Amino acid sequence: MSKANQIDKALVFIEDNLRKTISLEEIADVANYSPWHFHRLFNASTGITVGEYIRKRRLSEASRELIFTDRPIKQIAADYQFESQAAFTRSFKAFSGCTPGKVRASLRSLTSFEPLRIRTSRGKTMQTPKIVHRNTTRVFGISCHSTMNNNVIPALWEEFFKICKKIPNPLYEETALGVCYSISDDPTTPDTPFGYLAGMEVSAGETLPEGMEEITVPEGDYAVFEHIGALDNLHNTYNAIYGEWLPASGYVQSGDLDFELYGPHFRYGAAESVLEIWIPVKKK
């Protein structure tokens, strides 16, 4: 296991604590990330949410005990943190297609979900970002709450383009920011809402127009990546950032806010379009 791979550390922690109550906050702390950023990194690296991974590992280990031990089903359910035998039975049937009792009675084949290990990929290329120090800036715009499963951000941009000319004296006329930030302390899933503001940077003395919102982008060091081409595969760039570059980079993400910068080289849908992704970072 690579010591640089924070996800592997979290996976080992999960494996050691399958029989205990563990929270996303505890797992993220092992990996030295905030819960918000850890969930994004975990999903990018494994293709599964933290909660779903833990559930499948617990059910997999429970299925072994059903076959190879004579411990009561109720006790197995409690050991793997199911609130009741009925809840365990429902989850187990969805996982394996069979009830725990039938698995034990028939000694049928195990339904297995093996532990994951994340290793640095070979043969792939991930661009080296620029590390840029950025001063605090104000951003005026409009916002929405979106989720991974229900993305309403494109509709927000359509609304923003209708009112962007009301922003007083933007610092950069041809540049807009899409700021993504956490709004919930709840365990993060594909249905957990996050905040997103479409806006433009303004100077310290400007007055916020009626009907708009303001967010502050904090001072600090940022890793700046370029996404080239259409937005259809933007998720691949994020997956490479969080799943490949960041774990091996010598940096960790700082804060719960990152942003996309749509500058003069952004051309919607064009193969040569350039979008910048700014991730706040600090040295490990």
Domain CATH code at residue 210: 3.20.80.10
Residue 22: how many CB atoms within 10 A of its CB? Answer: 17
- My answer on whether 179 and 40 are in the same domain is no
Q: What pTM does this model have? A: 0.64
Q: Is residue 125 part of a domain?
A: no
Task: Name the β-bridge partners of 216.
Answer: 138
Residues 6+ apart with CB under 8 A from 209: 140, 166, 167, 168
- My answer on whether 36 and 164 are in the same domain is no
Residue 262 belongs to domain spanning: 130-283
- My answer on whether 101 and 167 are in the same domain is no
CATH of the domain at 23: 1.10.10.60
Check whether 121 has a pLDDT greater than 50.
no
Using DSSP's 3-state secondary structure scheme, residue 231 falls into helix
Q: How many domains does the chain have?
A: 2
Residue by residue, DSSP assigns 152-214 as: -HHHHHHHHHHHGGGSSS-SSTT-EEEEEEE---SPP-TTS-EEEEEEEEE-TTPPPPTT-EE
Helix (H) or strand (E) holding 78: helix 73-79
Q: Is residue 114 part of a domain?
A: no
- My answer on whether 92 and 169 are in the same domain is no
Question: In the structure, what pLDDT confidence band is assigned to residue 124 with cuts at 50, 70 and 90?
Answer: very low
Q: What is the pLDDT of residues 212-269, one digit of tens each?
A: 999 999 999 999 999 888 887 787 788 788 877 888 888 988 888 999 999 988 988 7
- My answer on whether 145 and 278 are in the same domain is yes
- My answer on whether 180 and 271 are in the same domain is yes
- My answer on whether 195 and 160 are in the same domain is yes
Q: Is residue 137 part of a domain?
A: yes
- My answer on whether 164 and 261 are in the same domain is yes
- My answer on whether 136 and 213 are in the same domain is yes
- My answer on whether 28 and 67 are in the same domain is yes
Question: In the structure, what pLDDT confidence band is assigned to residue 188 with cuts at 50, 70 and 90?
Answer: low
- My answer on whether 146 and 262 are in the same domain is yes
Indicate the range of 30-39, 88-97, 102-111, 200-209 predicted with least confidence. Answer: 102-111
- My answer on whether 53 and 137 are in the same domain is no
